[in-house]
Structure 1
Amino acid sequence: MAGGWTRDGAVQDQIDDTVRDALNRARRALPQGASLERCEECAAAIPEARRKALPGVRLCLTCQEERDAQTTGFSGYNRRGSKDSQLR
């Protein structure tokens, strides 16, 4: 049920766009290419099991966890077509 100027299904379309954007962002973040044997950051050995499980890996688990913790969060709210986004 849409209200005002929106058409029926507009809310679901925004949800679908948000999910699609998140998937595309996650796919772009996946490592690609050949895995390294040593970490780019600290030069520690990257275990063979990690290299096989995640092709293209470039960081050891410790450095990857630190990088993940530093990565800023995404609000996850899709403002495309929202009146609020037009006001800012």
Structure 2
Amino acid sequence: MDEQLIQLLDDSRPPAPMKPGQVRRVDYEYVRKGSCSVFLFTEPLFGWRRVQASERRTKVDWALQMKEVLEADFPDAKKVRPAVCLC
């Protein structure tokens, strides 16, 4: 399980059109469009993942995400434990 706050950005000006032999040119200025929170649940050994984006990240939002995973994806699980990171 991972959660992250993401800043939403937009271009202040459209990128210049590409021409043969040139790379895409993008202006460094941007317009801030707010933020969102991304929740990611994954079980890599089974090839499963659940991703949910929301407008905020509170204790209640996290609890609702956990409830959804436990009730919808692992309803028969007797025990859920975090994976060990071998980083």
TM-score range, shorter chain: under 0.3
As a proportion of its length, which structure holds more helix? 1
What TM-score, normalized to structure 1?
A: 0.25
In terms of fraction of residues, the more strand-rich structure is: 2
TM-score scaled by structure 2?
Answer: 0.26
